[in-house]
Amino acid sequence: MIIAGSDSSGGAGIQADIKTVTSLGSYAMTAITAITVQNTKGVKSVVPISANEIKNQIIYTAKDIKPDAIKIGMLHSSEVIEKVTESLKKKLIKYSFLLTPNIPEAEVLSGVKIRNKEDMILAANRLISLGAKNVLIKGGHLKSRVVEDIFLNRSDFKVFTSTRYNTKNTHGTGCTLSSAITTFLSCGKSIKKACDLGIKYVNSAILTNPNYGKGHGPINHLNSMEINKRFK
């Protein structure tokens, strides 16, 4: 189940989540938290869905089809956070299995100014001390030749190193990564293996992006799918 906002341009949010989960062979249900008006050049407006309706989407859907895993994306207010918490019967940071913040998000959550890999590790440790079970801080915002993502929990640590591709078409990478990891987790992969496979999936999606739009275009969510030759 995906709890997140909608992206009218199709590159991020619920649309990216559904494409990712489907292309990796799983089944996506949704609870939409907001409707955005946007394209590859920016966001024009955000229309929030009421907190009670978000809660109702989660509860009513899950009563019929029980989700194996839940991915949480855009929660636009403290009221929405409380209702989502209430519907899932848990506090988000303390009981979430994995947090996947980018550098700016990790700075806000941890209170650590991140300038390098060492700062990322410090921020991840701060999040663990707040009750997070596993943390994956994404390093794409740092200016470096390669991209380093930091995985940390109380007993394990790993740096995932990836090639940095010279492209402006990276819209939706965060949404896509978290949905990919959630899909792999729901299929029984370990947390580190799910992160590893999710990162590889996103890297392939960036490398094969379709070059749509005049701004920061979408990535290729279908990079994992093979089309039968008779349909080509």
pLDDT, tens only, 65-106 = 999 999 999 999 999 999 999 988 886 666 789 999 999 999
Helix 13-23 / helix 173-186 crossing angle, nearest 10 deg: 40
- Are 148 and 160 in contact by the 8 Å Cβ rule? The answer is yes
pLDDT value of residue 227: 65
pLDDT value of residue 232: 52
The domain locations on the chain are 2-223
- Are 209 and 169 in contact by the 8 Å Cβ rule? The answer is yes
pLDDT value of residue 224: 84
Q: Spell out the long-range contacts of 158-164 with Cβ–Cβ below 8 A and sequence spacing 24 or more.
A: 158/192, 158/195, 159/117, 160/195, 160/196, 160/199, 162/199, 162/203, 163/203, 164/140
pLDDT value of residue 50: 96
pLDDT value of residue 28: 97
pTM > 0.85: yes
List CB contacts of 120: < 8 A, sequence separation 6 or more. Answer: 103, 106, 114, 137, 139, 148, 150
SS3 of residue 158 by DSSP: strand
pLDDT value of residue 89: 82
Beta bridge partners of 157: 152
- Tally Cβ neighbours within 10 Å of residue 89: 7
pLDDT value of residue 94: 67
**Superfamily per CATH, domain 2-223:** Ribokinase (3.40.1190.20)
Using 50 as the pLDDT threshold, list the residues of the chain that sit under it: none
Tell the residue number behind the tokens 């949010």, with chain if given. 13
- Tally Cβ neighbours within 10 Å of residue 115: 10
Nearest to 140 by CA among 100, 110, 96, 109: 100
